[in-house]
Amino acid sequence: MEITLIRHGKSTWIEKKSITCQEFKIWVEKYDSNGVLEEKFYPTETIKKINEANLILTSDLKRAVTSARLLKPKAPAISDPIFRETELPMPTKKLLGLKLNPNSWSIILRCLWFSGYSRGCESLNDAKIRAEKAAKYLVRYAMEHDRIVLVGHGFFNRLVGNELKKIGWNSKKKTSSKHWQSTTFWLD
């Protein structure tokens, strides 16, 4: 049995101008509603694993669904919101009109999230509980289909990978958060 976690491709939403924290919320909505950039080449191991898969699963966000289609066109996939990326908290204050680029906001808000701040989104603890449930779903699917692939997201794939390891699944490397990269887990 194998479970392969793949991170989606780069989003087509590439707006990088400096914005306020409130504008960042709109930026995230656009990032979530856009697809991904098609590449000329995809990592060999990723293509190998998705072609060997007997079942493909994705998050229900467009960038994950589109990535699965680009990696294996016309293959059916099951999309489920349980595999969605972890959200970022949104502060209530306007932060004195502070403007930063979206990458900076992502880093700051993710650090706050890891520190326990989760206003308006799922907490880290709740995300870990969801990841545990998602890992159990994947194991069930792997028991039925032998080789499966999940096209998901960087942080949530990492949480799912941690849960798979806790229940005895192995991998040769850490769960990758790079676009299009795959990490495979198996049972001994």
Q: Are 170 and 34 in contact (CB under 8 A)?
A: no
pLDDT digits (tens, 9 = 90+) for 39-66: 999 999 999 999 999 999 999 999 999 9
**What is the residue range of 150's domain?**
2-186
Helix ranges, the chain (H): 21-33, 44-52, 62-71, 102-114, 124-145, 154-166
Q: Would you state the pLDDT for residue 188?
A: 80
Mean pLDDT across 6-18:
93
Query: How many distinct structural domains can be found in the chain?
Result: 1
At which residue do the structure tokens 């326990």 appear?
116
Distance CA 131, CA 122 (A): 12
Q: What is the CATH number of the domain that holds 165?
A: 3.40.50
Q: What is the DSSP string of 57-76?
A: EE-SSHHHHHHHHHHSTT--
At which residue do the structure tokens 């520190």 appear?
115
pLDDT digits (tens, 9 = 90+) for 77-118: 999 999 999 999 987 777 767 899 999 999 999 999 999 999
Distance CA 152, CA 14 (A): 19
